[in-house]
């Protein structure tokens, strides 16, 4: 965090040699980041506890034990977002973004042999979370130069969190679970740094929200 701020301040000193620039009404950007609010929540929260049907459990263990689900390591889909802002004046731009991220975990049938007490695991399917967020946001440009800028952002919106768990047993007792949760969410960009041409700029941001704690991307300004 402190390193990013220091670099931004050093660049801003050299950028002061340029004239103040304001020739943008619209900007469209695409970002990729890590550490979105829903991504962190998905990693911390357990999947919904689902019992294995007695018929499936008997088929797996031969009736010697009761099987239950366990889950493998997380595999994350990074947060990807598309954003748009309309500049109402040289300082304030209004708009927002739509963001997506996800997580996958293998599902296992797990049981203990009643005689040897040996634990057995059998891959059974996959559990998934998919998160979609809609975030109205305001952007505040506090340094605006022809090829460089510093800014912050703040917003609030909603996230739709969709969970599925499906095993591979093709029987009527097979688990095929889904659940959707809608939660309020916020966005805060403490510092954003952008640099490039008058129309195309790369950027990096540090903050809290659905674009990630750290995100980077490319934007088109016109």
Question: Is 60 or 150 the better-scoring residue by pLDDT?
Answer: 150
- Mean of pLDDT values over 169-196: 88
| pLDDT value for 68 | 81
pLDDT(58) > 90:
no
Residue recorded with tokens 């952002």: 153
Residue 144 contacts by C-beta under 8 Å, 6 or more apart in sequence? 20, 21, 22, 90
Closest residue by Cα to residue 134 from 197, 183, 70:
183
pLDDT(15) > 60:
no
How many whole angstroms separate alpha carbon 83 and alpha carbon 81? 6
pLDDT per position as a tens digit, 107-164: 998 888 766 678 888 898 999 999 999 999 999 999 988 899 999 999 999 999 999 9
| pLDDT value for 22 | 64
Retrieve residue 144's tokens. 């605006």
| pLDDT value for 133 | 98
pLDDT per position as a tens digit, 86-107: 999 989 999 999 999 999 999 9
How many whole angstroms separate alpha carbon 139 and alpha carbon 135? 12
Q: Quick one: CATH architecture of 2-6+20-50+78-103+128-221?
A: Beta Barrel (2.40)
- Mean of pLDDT values over 197-203: 95
How many whole angstroms separate alpha carbon 30 and alpha carbon 80? 7
SS (H, E, C) the chain: CHHHHHHHHHHHHHHCCCCECCCCCEEEEEEEEECCHHHHHHHHCCCCCCCCCHHHHHHHHCCCCCCEEEECCCEEEEEEEEEEEEECCCCEEEEEEEEEEEEEEEEEEEEECCCCCCEEEEEEEEEEEEEEEEEEEEEEEEEEECCEEEEEEEEEEEEEEEEEEEECCCCCCCCEEEEEEEEEEEEEEEEEEEEECCCEEEEEEEEECCCCCEEEEEEEEC
The confidence band for 197, taking pLDDT boundaries of 50, 70 and 90, is: very high
92-112/176-196 β-pairing: unpaired
Q: How many CA atoms lie within 13 A of 160 on its CB side?
A: 6
- Mean of pLDDT values over 166-185: 82
pLDDT(2) > 50:
no
- Mean of pLDDT values over 189-206: 97
């Amino acid at each position: 965090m402190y390193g990013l701020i220091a670099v931004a301040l050093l660049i801003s000193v050299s950028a002061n040699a340029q004239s103040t620039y304001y020739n943008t009404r619209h900007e469209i950007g695409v970002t990729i980041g890590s550490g979105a609010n829903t991504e962190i929540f998905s990693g911390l929260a357990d999947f919904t506890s689902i019992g294995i049907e007695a018929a499936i459990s008997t088929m797996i263990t031969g009736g010697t034990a009761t099987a239950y689900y366990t889950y493998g390591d997380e595999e994350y889909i990074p947060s990807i977002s598309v954003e748009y802002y309309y500049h109402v004046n040289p300082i304030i731009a209004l708009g927002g973004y739509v963001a997506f991220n996800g997580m996958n975990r293998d599902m296992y049938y797990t049981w203990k042999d009643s005689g040897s007490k040996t634990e057995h695991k059998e891959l059974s399917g996959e559990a998934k979370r998919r998160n979609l967020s809609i975030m109205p946001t305001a952007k505040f440009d506090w340094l605006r130069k022809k090829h460089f800028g510093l800014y912050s952002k703040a917003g609030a919106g909603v996230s739709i969190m969709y969970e599925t768990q499906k095993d591979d047993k093709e029987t009527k007792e097979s688990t095929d679970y889904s659940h959707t949760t809608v939660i309020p969410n916020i966005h805060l960009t403490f510092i954003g740094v952008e640099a490039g041409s008058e129309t195309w700029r790369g950027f990096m941001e540090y903050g809290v929200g659905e674009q990630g704690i750290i995100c980077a991307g490319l934007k088109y300004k016109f």
